[in-house]
Amino acid sequence: MARPSFDITLPDESLREALQARIDDLTKPRGSLGRLEELAMQAGLIQHTLTPALHHPQNIIFAADHGIVSEGVTVAPREVTFQQVCHFTHPNGTGGINFLCRQHGFELKVVDAGVDADLPRDRGIIDRKIARGTDNFLHGPAMSPEQFDRCLATGAEIVRMCAAEGSNVLSFGEMGIGNTSASSIWMSRFTGTPIEDCVGAGSGLSPEGVRHKKEVLARSVEGYRGDGSPEDWMRWFGGFEMVMAVGAMLQAAEMHIIILVDGFIMGACMLGAAQMYPAVKAYAVFGHCGDEAGHRRMLDALGARPLLHLGLRLGEGTGALCAYPILDSAVRMINEMDRFSEASITKYF
C-alpha cells in the first residue's frame, strides 16, 4: 500500500469580515462572549458559512497494544487494553467514555487497530487489526513502513465513513496501555523538549517507576537509527492506534470537519499530523489541558488554548467531549441570538 497523501489547505478567509460583522451584530457588547465568539468564527471559517452547524458528532476510539510495555514502563498490564475495549462496547456502555457519549449525543465507534487479543465481533467493533501490538521500540522500530502507511490509510477510511453518515464534527480517543511512552517521545522530538520533561506517571507510576520509564525512553531514543523524518520517528516509536489517529485527523482536515482534540495522547497525534501538514491545526478545537506531565508544554508548542482544565488524564476522548458543549454554545450563539439589526435594541457601540 502506498502512503496516502492529503490535500489540506487553510480555511478560506473570505468570509471572515462577514462572520465578524454577524457576531458583532448580536445583541451583546462587542467581544463580551469571549471564547464563544472565537469558536463561532473558527466553525464558520471551517464550514465556510455564516450559519455553522454541528451534525452527528462521533467519538472514534482507536485501540492497540505496545511492545514497550514489556520494559515495565506502566503499572497497567497489557490485557487492560482488551478489557477496556470490551467495556466500551458492552451493551450497557460501561466505560468512562460511554456516559459522556450518551450525555452529549455522540455516537461511539471503536476500532481494533492492533489489540493483542481476539475481540468479540458481535459488539460492532471495527476490525482493522494491523498486528497484535507493535514491536518493542527499545530494540528497533515499533512498526514497518508498510504498517505505518496502512495505519494512516485506515484512519482516513474511518473518517470518510463518518462523513458519509453525516458527521461534520469528530472527536478522537485512544486505548493502548503504554501509549504515554510513545507520546512522550513524539513530543520530545517534535517540540525539542528534553525527554525527562515529557514523561509522566501515565496510569499511576510511582516516582521510582517514573524514573525507570525515563531511563527506558532515553535509551530507546539513543538507539534510533532511522532517517530522521517526522514520519520515521512516528513509525519507529508510535502505536498503531496513534498513527491511525494521525491519519484520521488529516482526513478530517481535508474534508473541513471540526476536530475535537482530547488529552496528552491525542495532542501528540496532532503534533505528528502538524509535522506532516501544518494546516491541520486550523481545524482543531483543543478540549482541555490534563495533568499528564508535559501536556501544557505540548499545547504551548501547538499554539493551542484549551477550553478546560479539569485535571483529567483518562484519555478515550473524555476531555474533548466535556468541552463539546462549549463549541455547541458558540454555534447556537451565532444562530439563535437576536441581532441589533432586527431587534428593538439600541446598538450602543
Catalytic residues: 316
301 is written with which cell numbers? 508548542
Alpha-carbon span 229 to 276, nearest angstrom: 10
316 closest CA partner among 177, 134, 128: 177
Rounded to 5 degrees, what are φ and ψ at 8? -115, 120
φ/ψ (deg, to 5) at 214: -60, -40
Instruction: Give how far the C-alpha of residue 342 lies from the chain's centroid of Cα atoms, to the nearest Å.
Output: 40
Place of cell 494546516: 279
Number of residues assigned to the chain:
349
Instruction: Let me know: does 158 contact 9? Beta carbons within 8 Å.
Output: no
Q: How far apart, in whole angstroms, are the C-alpha atoms of residue 291 and residue 19?
A: 35
∠ CA 21-332-168, nearest 5°, is: 100
Q: How far is CA 307 from CA 168, 299, 310, 324, in A?
A: 20, 11, 10, 9
Q: What sign does the CA torsion over 210, 213, 217, 222 have?
A: positive
C-alpha cell, 35: 471564547
